[in-house]
Amino acid sequence: MLVNWTKSQKRANFIMNFTKINSTYGRIRSKRWLNTIVILSRYLIAFAFIPSGLKKIMGLRFTQIGTDNPIGFFFEGLFQSGIYWNFIGWAQVVAAFLLMTQRFATLGTLFFFFIISNIWVITISLHFTGTWIITSLLLFAIIMMLLWDFNKLKFIFYFDNYSVEVKDLNYPTYNRIWIISGFILFVLSVIGSLLLERQEYGTPIFFYIWFASIILTVVLAIYLNRKGMKTTIF
């Protein structure tokens, strides 16, 4: 009886604490301006990893640092692995695609959490000069995105054999504009990254046109959303 009461008490405390967390989460998650920042952050992080991911898929070296340097030696070892080097590239590009779709952004965020946390440990272990600051900021951003999707992930922490009520929520989220913009940005990122690897397209003029088209897509998406087009996709 005492054991059953203790279990019941633990479950009651768990539910009470989760209720408080859900209440706080709901107040934060209801902010439309935060939703916009999260969506734009997804675009930015995905965009940052597409060029390096494509290099690995094409079997190109990521850096020209010599093997006499521990960093260069490490990346050369990864490059010489062949299939594993390609696998890392595919993982980065697929995660970027998922993040940009918005519909599957939570899955993309989980992928990137493991990718970026691994990169973060590498930059600290090999004593990258200054790079660890950038990877720390990326890791922080990904953790914030996971917290933003807490409503989807919280069930991981529930007890076994625990029934969960599913209900509709009116939190601000992505819509057709953000989804279409994500696909456009992904295509632009891939095409631009591939063309910039070719000598005839690796010119400042092409880069400026490519970068301007990306900025224009983002600005247009923000403008259309501010105009009130809020057709939500589930």
Place of tokens 């400042």: 204
Please report whether residue 47 resides in a domain: yes
What is d(CA 44, CA 217) in angstroms, rounded to the nearest whole number? 13
Place of tokens 């940009």: 100
Domain around 185: 33-159+172-226
| pLDDT band (50, 70, 90) for residue 5 | low
Q: In 97-137, at which residue ranges do the beta strands (DSSP E only) sit?
A: none
The one-letter amino acid at 161 = N
pLDDT of 53 reads 94
What is d(CA 32, CA 37) in angstroms, rounded to the nearest whole number? 9
Please report whether residue 167 resides in a domain: no
Phi, psi of 110 (to 5 degrees): -65, -45
**Residues 45-78: tens digit of each pLDDT:** 999 999 999 999 999 888 888 888 888 888 888 8
Please report whether residue 46 resides in a domain: yes
**Collapsed DSSP state (helix, strand, coil) of residue 172:** coil
Please tell me the least confidently modeled range out of 8-12, 112-116, 228-232.
228-232
What is d(CA 58, CA 131) in angstroms, rounded to the nearest whole number? 24
Please report whether residue 231 resides in a domain: no
Total count of domains within the chain: 1
- Which residue, 202, 112, 194, is CA-closest to 149? 112
Please report whether residue 182 resides in a domain: yes
**Residues 187-225: tens digit of each pLDDT:** 999 999 888 877 666 678 888 898 999 999 999 999 998
Please report whether residue 186 resides in a domain: yes
Please report whether residue 204 resides in a domain: yes
Contacts of 141 (CB under 8 A, 6+ apart): 41, 45
Please report whether residue 150 resides in a domain: yes
The one-letter amino acid at 148 = W
Q: Provide the residue count of the chain.
A: 234
Q: State the sign of the Cα–Cα–Cα–Cα dihedral 172, 20, 153, 50.
A: positive
